[in-house]
Amino acid sequence: MTSAFSLLKTRFVWFLFAGLLLIAQVPSILGSYWTLIALNLMMWVAITQSWTLFSGMTGYISLGHVVFYGVGAYVVASTFNTIPLWLAVPMGGIAAALLALVVSVPVLRVRGPYFVILTFGLAELVKFSILNLETVSGKSSRLLFGTPSIEILLYCMIGLVVLATLTTLFVTCSRFGRGLTVIREDEVAAATVGVPVLRYKIIAYTISAIVPGMAGGLMALKSTYFEVLQVFNPIISFTVVTMAIIGGSGDVRGPFLGAVFLVLLSELFWTTAPQFYMILVGLFLILFVIFAPNGIAAFLDKLQISRKSG
């Protein structure tokens, strides 16, 4: 089983690099409109992949990952023109990880629906705290002048996708990753075999905040202004969960498949029939949860198996 897995992995890694190289060609071949779409796509893949590392592996569904995205954006926006961007963006990731670390001890003590609600509430709390902070200091929104070009941001975002994906692959194969899987299966049993349950959950939660933090920073640079309600928009959390479910949250390919699916869907319908798009997203989410809870990735595996046997 292990050898089959590593084979799949190497094939996947080749596909991954080929795909990302193609996406890196988008600016020169397809122009600026498609570059923006490619940037969006890469952002969703990066965040969803990080989300999967924690929520997919441990079964703790975070409905508030936007908080890390927002914090990363806030760090980059508030330090804009004072510290260089190559430092500010990683600092956004570190700030998000620190926030995750600090809140993880109380937050990870509750399970199931309580955890879901708590992560959502936490994101709202941070959103309104920063909103008040900005209002008090008289900066309801910030304009960012002289941001890097979209191409540069796309390359950075591709870098984040690589980082998030390699981290997930690495964790999946490690003892740490097996510990997380066992926690998802049964937390008490995991403790009785000697998995340091709380420590593993904290580490996974903290790691899963880093890339969303940096992605938030890059996206603030992309939009060239910073507005609290926009970067802490809960829709971002919902979209990430939706992409993970549709793509397959237990699979490293899932975030790619889910993000491509929803970004294409949005390209087809968002401008022409926005209401129709939201209805479709809801419909697909329901259909996937009922008929394909392991997402497109598991569906592809099934196709492959039936083709081989049939």
The footprint of another protein (CB under 8 A) covers: 175, 178-179, 181-182, 185-186, 188-198
Are 261 and 296 contacting, i.e. CB atoms less than 8 angstroms apart? yes
CB 104 within 8 A of CB 202: yes
Distance CA 187, CA 116 (A): 17
Our CB check for another protein shows the closer of 210 and 245 to be 245
**CB nearer to another protein: pick between 136 and 188:** 188
Tokens 């992995």 correspond to: 9
Nearer residue to another protein within complex by CB, 175 or 302 = 175
Q: Is 178 exposed, middle or buried (0-12, 13-18, 19+ CB in 10 A)?
A: middle
Q: How far is the CB of 187 from another protein (least distance, A)?
A: 9
Residue 37 or 198: the one with the smaller Cβ distance to another protein is 198
> Which of 129, 174 has the CB closer to another protein?
174
What token pair was written down for 280? 């479709």
- Tell the smallest beta-carbon distance from residue 61 to another protein (Å): 17
Q: Rounded to the nearest whole angstrom, what is the least distance from the CB of residue 1 to another protein in the complex?
A: 8
Q: How far is the CB of 180 from another protein (least distance, A)?
A: 12
Q: Are 268 and 253 in contact (CB under 8 A)?
A: no
Shortest distance, CB of residue 197 to another protein, whole angstroms?
Answer: 8
Closest to another protein by CB, 84 vs 194, is 194
Distance CA 204, CA 58 (A): 8
Min. distance of Cβ 186 from another protein in angstroms?
A: 5
Please name which of 231, 171, 252 lies closest in space to residue 206, comparing C-alpha atoms.
171
Distance CA 251, CA 299 (A): 11
Chain position carrying tokens 């890059």: 218
**Structure-token match 């193609």, residue found:** 22
Q: Closer to another protein at the Cβ: 159 or 196?
A: 196
Contacts 24+ apart (CB under 8 A), 259-268: 259/41, 259/44, 259/45, 259/48, 260/41, 261/296, 262/44, 263/37, 263/40, 263/41, 263/44, 267/37
Q: CB of 195: closest distance to another protein in angstroms?
A: 6
> Is 157 in contact with 26 (CB distance < 8 Å)?
no
How near is the Cβ of 134 to another protein at its closest, in Å? 40
Q: Is 233 left (phi over 0), alpha (psi -120 to 50) or beta?
A: beta
> Which CB sits closer to another protein, 192 or 309?
192
Q: How far apart are CA 91 and CA 178, in angstroms?
A: 30
